[in-house]
Amino acid sequence: MKVSYFETGRYQAPADMPAIWPMPAAAYDSGEGVRVFRGMIERIALAEKLGFDWVSLSEHHYSPRILTPSPMVAAAYVAARVHTIKIALLGPIVSHSNPVRIAEELAMLDTIAAGRLVVGLLRGTPNETLTYDLNPQESRERTDEGMELILKAWTEPRPFGWQGRHFRYRTVSVWPRPLQQPHPPTFALGTSREAGEFAARTRIGLGVSYGPFEVMEKVTGYYRDQCARHGWEPAPDQIIFRANIILTETDAQAQRAMEVYPTRAPFSLAEGVASALLTLDARNIAGEARSASINRALPINFFGSPDTVVDQVRRCREVIGAGVIDLGFNTPGTTDPVALLDALDLFGRTVLPRIRDI
């Protein structure tokens, strides 16, 4: 099993901060912002030293929960400061961005990072459709088209035009090229039928997240079936499972943390907006309709003592087939960055060496 540390930029929000999205800019503390980016390097350097394979970054907006609205900028910063760990962008939001620009920036990053880049291409969470005025009913199609254009932009040797549905370019010719050829390891991120079909057809990996193992099993099973239909079989490290983890010394400690774990997202959309988005933003799990996750806290999929977590990782491999876990470390009751360093250290000492061979 390969292990990735999901770095979100730990912003220590004061207790009186409103629990809303978008978070008012006036609530921002610039000193805390500076500490976030300084701490980012400290945490990633520790993860690298402990033997984590990847650090992952992702794109979210208008909130202290994840302080990397441009994961490209964060990745360039990390690439220059930390030298062996792979840098996984999981991922840029394709639906609301210029896909050619994404292809260019990722190719730059792969070059800057000396071929250490891993790429996940993302549709985005429902609230992100509000960020740049994207019609939620178009986000699926724009993602599919954007992903195809990014792959084309990396691999076509000569200038080409793109006559799409949502994107039109008359001349595309990306410089620099990605260092890894034909392109960095790339994943479609998502649990939908469309993400699975796209990944299978274009022979890229699939990244799933935050669902119970049995549900994620349906998604990766669908993906593998589609790959077989296209005449290939994905390797284990072409399936990523992103999940939250609460690792404690004893199972009892984790149990107590789970009991107080919130069910509501820390920063929520207004009810009127949330309910309207639910009707507009259609989602599915391997073709089975489901409502979008809005204002709900993300579940914890790994929790307990090191022994228990090792067993859970083993089950994750058996059930989902994931060869990479991408972990968001929770430190119940505190947002202190030091607690996060302790959690990483505990994982690195007690779990990491025991899941290598899973």
Q: How far is the CB of 341 from another protein (least distance, A)?
A: 46
Q: Which is nearer to another protein, 95 or 268 (CB)?
A: 95
Strands 288-290 and 283-285: antiparallel
Q: Is 175 in the site for another protein (CB under 8 A)?
A: no
Q: Is 164 in the site for another protein (CB under 8 A)?
A: yes
Q: Is 171 in the site for another protein (CB under 8 A)?
A: yes
DSSP per-residue string spanning 22-50: SPPGGG--HHHHHHHHHHHHHHHHHHHHH
- Selected from 53, 59, 148, 326, the binder of another protein by CB under 8 A is 148
Q: Which is nearer to another protein, 170 or 357 (CB)?
A: 170
Q: Is 152 in the site for another protein (CB under 8 A)?
A: yes
Q: Is 149 in the site for another protein (CB under 8 A)?
A: yes
Strands 117-122 and 186-189: parallel
- Pick the piece of the chain touching another protein (CB under 8 A) from 46-54, 60-68, 82-90, 141-149: 141-149
Q: Is 231 in the site for another protein (CB under 8 A)?
A: no
Q: How far is the CB of 203 from another protein (least distance, A)?
A: 14
Q: Is 170 in the site for another protein (CB under 8 A)?
A: yes
Q: DSSP secondary-structure letter at 329?
A: E
Long-range contacts of 258-266 (CB under 8 A, 24+ apart): 258/300, 258/303, 260/332, 260/333, 261/297, 261/300, 261/330, 261/332, 262/297, 263/296, 263/297, 264/295, 264/296, 264/297, 265/21, 265/295, 265/296, 265/297, 265/298, 266/19, 266/65, 266/297
Q: Which is nearer to another protein, 99 or 136 (CB)?
A: 99
Surface-to-core class of residue 82, CB atoms within 10 Å of its CB (0-12 exposed, 13-18 middle, 19+ buried) = buried
Residues contacting another protein: total by CB under 8 A: 18
- Selected from 38, 81, 83, 165, the binder of another protein by CB under 8 A is 165
Q: How far is the CB of 181 from another protein (least distance, A)?
A: 15
Euclidean distance between CA atoms 330 and 65, whole angstroms: 12
Q: How far is the CB of 148 from another protein (least distance, A)?
A: 6
Q: DSSP secondary-structure letter at 133?
A: T
Binding mask 200-219 for another protein (x = CB under 8 A): --------------------
